[in-house]
């Protein structure tokens, strides 16, 4: 897993080449809505892209994480199917439903059933390299989502410039990033991580939580500000010395969000002494998001080391899938 995290900049670089060279079957048209359907490591890219395009895309954009699609999906919908393995049963079922409803379907996968159906139905299918854990392939899937949106003229291609800049900066700062990540991991070790971010970066917070779950083999939860200020904040009442608050921050977060975070810190400090603030680096949303993703990925694998666990192993998920196959 460490090698996969280390190679994240190279993955982004390869993802740009894949997206740039793909030749679409479907031509441009107007859509009433865009749906990304996918789960876990395959679906989190959709959540991050949703945050990224929220102030750019005028067409409604949602992320679907289940077996079925919303009732409004129709021939005027763009459905992007994301399944790294190509065999995720929920995503395969959603894909079949999208085809039945005659939506425009584009797939992002490494193969499997999704690729087979796409070939049979002559549907766009962007293939990414196979053989890795889905959570380690975020760069491949997320970048392809951007190329799909760009192809249909839903967004521009400025993301290419931002990602190229990210790759350069990420490589230059690699040693420092790992050093920061180890410091954070040691502070979190032995505690329950509670991650908070602005609502505009909630996808990144979810990604961090999922990496702690899968790589570090530990429970964690996340909340977004301002929403958590209207409910979860009241739960900060008892001693929480066994918990570590991690604030994912950006210097250009909305002013009132930053004010809320400072006030929230005063509340947290009454119950736990472990409050960690991680500020992003970069001059664009994608630069900031990828910086936080890369740093927190390292935190998750370093925590696995501290817990003396294999970051790659996900036996309980394998057990679940095997059990489901018998039903």
Kindly state the average pLDDT of the residues 23-38: 94
pLDDT tens digit sequence for 220-229: 999 999 999 9
DSSP characters for 37-52?
E--HHHHHHHHHHHHH
How many residues would you count in the chain? 327
Is the pLDDT score of 292 beyond 90? Answer: yes
| pLDDT above 70: percentage of residues in the chain | 100
CA distance 155 to 153: 5
Domains along the chain?
Answer: 2-162 (3.40.50.10490), 174-306 (3.40.50.10490)
pLDDT tens for 144-172 read 999 999 999 999 999 999 999 999 999 99
Question: Active-site residues: which are they?
Answer: 214, 230, 321
Alpha carbons 154 and 151: distance in angstroms, whole number: 8
Classify residue 129 as left (phi > 0), alpha (psi -120 to 50) or beta: beta
Measure the CA–CA gap between 274 and 241, rounded to whole angstroms: 8
Per-residue pLDDT, 86: 95
Q: Which residues contact 228 (CB under 8 A, 6 or more apart)?
A: 196
Q: Give me the chain's average pLDDT, please.
A: 96
CB 86 within 8 A of CB 113: yes
pLDDT tens digits for range 56-95: 999 999 999 999 999 999 999 999 999 999 999 999 999 9
- Res 43: pLDDT: 92
**pLDDT confidence band for 291 (50 / 70 / 90):** very high
Beta-strand runs (E) in the chain: 33-37, 61-64, 77-83, 104-109, 124-127, 192-198, 221-225, 243-249, 275-279
Residue 199: is its pLDDT beyond 90? Answer: yes
106, β-bridge pairs:
80, 124
Read off the pLDDT band of 207 (50, 70, 90).
very high
């Amino acid at each position: 897993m460490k090698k996969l995290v280390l190679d994240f900049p190279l993955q982004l670089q390869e993802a740009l080449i894949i997206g740039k060279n793909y030749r679409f079957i479907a031509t441009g048209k107007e859509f009433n809505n865009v749906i990304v359907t996918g789960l876990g490591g395959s679906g989190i890219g959709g959540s991050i892209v949703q945050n990224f395009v929220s102030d750019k895309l005028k067409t409604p954009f949602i992320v679907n994480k289940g077996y079925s699609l919303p009732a409004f999906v129709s021939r005027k919908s763009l459905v992007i199917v994301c399944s790294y393995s190509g065999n995720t049963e929920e995503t395969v079922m959603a894909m079949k439903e999208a085809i039945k409803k005659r939506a425009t379907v584009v797939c992002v996968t490494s193969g499997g059933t999704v690729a087979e159906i796409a070939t049979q139905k002559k549907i766009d299918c962007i293939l990414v390299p196979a053989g890795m854990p889905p959570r380690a392939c975020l760069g491949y899937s997320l970048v392809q989502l951007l190329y799909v949106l760009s192809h249909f003229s839903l967004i521009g291609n400025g993301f290419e410039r931002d990602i190229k800049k990210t790759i350069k900066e990420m490589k230059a700062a690699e040693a420092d990033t790992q050093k920061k990540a180890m410091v954070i991991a040691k502070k979190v070790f032995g505690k329950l991580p509670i991650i908070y971010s602005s609502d505009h970066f909630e996808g990144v917070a979810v990604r961090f939580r999922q990496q702690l779950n899968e790589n570090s083999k530990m429970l964690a939860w996340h909340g977004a500000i301002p929403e958590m200020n209207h409910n979860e904040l009241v739960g900060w009442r008892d001693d929480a010395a066994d918990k570590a608050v991690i604030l994912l921050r950006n210097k250009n977060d909305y002013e009132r969000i930053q004010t809320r975070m400072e006030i929230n810190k005063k509340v947290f400090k009454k119950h736990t002494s472990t409050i960690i603030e991680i500020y992003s680096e970069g001059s664009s949303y994608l630069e900031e998001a990828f910086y936080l993703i890369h740093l927190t990925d390292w935190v998750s694998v370093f925590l696995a080391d501290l817990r003396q666990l294999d970051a790659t192993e996900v036996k309980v998920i394998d057990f679940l899938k095997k059990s489901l196959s018998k039903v």
